[in-house]
Structure 1
């Protein structure tokens, strides 16, 4: 389909005609091959639901996504009873492709406590039936850029976490992220150079990588042997250009080269999870489920099966 679908027609298909939001270009999306990415399994992160994880499970399953990424906030209710969340996921036929294990911060003065927290999380993931944890950080200096020494230290800390979680059958993944160690492509490179690829895989967040000045397509090619999963995510500028502000949006609503990403995944014959992540609803009149419906429609348009 070479012409753009009108905004109102697109929204009416979703039952969202009264909501004000931009449309995506079907002509651009249609440049993808019809085969899609056969090895890609598409999940969705619960983060958009703001802690209402049971509703997230219900909505994500109802929309046909194959898996869900849960966050460490779920430990408050289910940490001592992993079998309960495992049964809930089974009831809604959802896989558990990734767990947000939280930050691994350097310079806490107690690396062992940091490592132990992620080990405990890994044991929970193992009990639920998952395989992967994602690790982030909040160690970026408030002013200036991080030193090479700090990036190297973070890589070594990730390596130790990954080595120990691997001993219990859980793979640690590093998640690149704005405003953290690993904001820019150069920082990501240094971090990954300082941890063993067997101990620490890469969960490539394409929107964070784009916002940090990188090209996700190039990153996929460069790290193809290390990427274990991706965050399928979109972002667009917010406010005046000089503000450098941005907001995360539904797929197809932002500036990330999504057709290029999917084409490259197809070319490298990627096999693994692509997990849609939207930190929060970008416009208050929309619900998390409505945002997920917009993303699902985009994925279907570009030939990605969920």
Structure 2
């Protein structure tokens, strides 16, 4: 039967779900080790909570020729933990990805809804909003088929009198709520990315936006570098707290704009402290200029250094 966690009037504690679901992959990965040590099931609650950060890059950053399996293998060889793909499927099929996962052991952690900028949930045109809902629904299906558990979504864009901040807020929430039955049935989260779209440019606004949706299948895909233009990244992390399910990793400076990870104004020690305070554990995906294997190697080095990932 479908997996469901209720709706806005449910007694289910959404924040409790958000805090714990981000660590599900870690918990399952520990099961073989626990079994090998013959730890009794009734002693599992004595174990300390696991915190682990996993690395990936956006699919479009992998600028090499080759098959899907070869690209998966390259990322594995460079030290990345898994893959993030796109919807609609572009340059690959579900069978291609299944073969690549079997060959490399690399998981797919999610997909990006690639239609959300031009076909927006916040559009003033009702027929465009309906298309956006359809694309988001398809992204959920694609993600499930590929083995992932989240769809990255930009909820809209403030463009003027016909697409104001209030319009983006109301229209996008209406659209997101239409796909939540599918999200709960498929076990795929809808994660809102903070971008330069004129929407929710303070952490309090983003917090309140997610809280108004009030559903455990919706959370934050927090972009560390995107918010640095508006304020300290660590302040956003502390305000959003366990609403954050995944991280996009980039840097930004007042002088140069977006730059290589570690070369900008992001206070990485404070970012690490704030992530530890909210007990974040999960996927960290680079979203910077990609390139060949050497470029991707440097990105992995920089990302693991600033976040102190083992």
Q: Same fold (TM over 0.5)?
A: yes
Please tell me whether residue 295 in structure 1 is matched to residue 295 in structure 2: no
Instruction: Give me the whole-angstrom Cα distance separating, in 1, the residues matched to 2:112 and 2:266.
Output: 23
- Per-residue CA distance 1:154-198 (angstroms, 9 max, x = gap): 233223333432222211111111135344445524532431241
- Per-residue CA distance 1:97-154 (angstroms, 9 max, x = gap): 1200131432231333322221122112111111111111453216999332432322
Instruction: Give me the whole-angstrom Cα distance separating, in 1, the residues matched to 2:158 and 2:175.
Output: 15
Please tell me whether residue 94 in structure 1 is matched to residue 106 in structure 2: yes
Match of 1:214? 231
Match of 1:113 among 131, 142, 150: 131
Instruction: Give me the whole-angstrom Cα distance separating, in 1, the residues matched to 2:254 and 2:177.
Output: 34
Q: 1:255 to 1:291 in 2, by over 3 A?
A: farther
Matches within 5 A, 1:218-297: 218-237=235-254, 246-247=257-258, 249-278=259-288, 280-281=289-290, 287-297=291-301
Match of 1:64 among 79, 97, 100: 79
Structure 1 unaligned regions, length at least 5: 1-36, 240-245, 282-286
CA contact (8 A) 1:229 1:272 kept: yes
The alignment's TM-score, normalised by the length of structure 2, stands at: 0.71
- Per-residue CA distance 1:14-67 (angstroms, 9 max, x = gap): xxxxxxxxxxxxxxxxxxxxxxx9422222222323696836434322211101
Q: 1:295 to 1:177 in 2, by over 3 A?
A: same
Q: 1:56 to 1:205 in 2, by over 3 A?
A: farther
Q: 1:119 to 1:267 in 2, by over 3 A?
A: same
Q: Which has the higher helix share?
A: 2
Please tell me whether residue 196 in structure 1 is matched to residue 214 in structure 2: yes
Instruction: Give me the whole-angstrom Cα distance separating, in 2, the residues matched to 1:71 and 1:180.
Output: 24
Secondary structure at 1:99 match in 2: strand
- Per-residue CA distance 1:242-299 (angstroms, 9 max, x = gap): xxxx22x332122112221122222332221111221x25xxxxx3433332233334
Secondary structure at 1:122 match in 2: helix
Q: 1:153 to 1:71 in 2, by over 3 A?
A: same
How many correspondences in the alignment?
253
CA contact (8 A) 1:156 1:194 kept: no
Secondary structure at 1:151 match in 2: helix
Please tell me whether residue 148 in structure 1 is matched to residue 157 in structure 2: no
Instruction: Give me the whole-angstrom Cα distance separating, in 2, the residues matched to 1:38 and 1:147.
Output: 36
Match of 2:16? none
Match of 1:135? 153
Structure 2 unaligned regions, length at least 5: 1-49
Match of 1:83 among 88, 91, 95: 95
CA contact (8 A) 1:159 1:200 kept: no
CA contact (8 A) 1:229 1:274 kept: yes
The alignment's TM-score, normalised by the length of structure 1, stands at: 0.72
CA contact (8 A) 1:183 1:208 kept: no
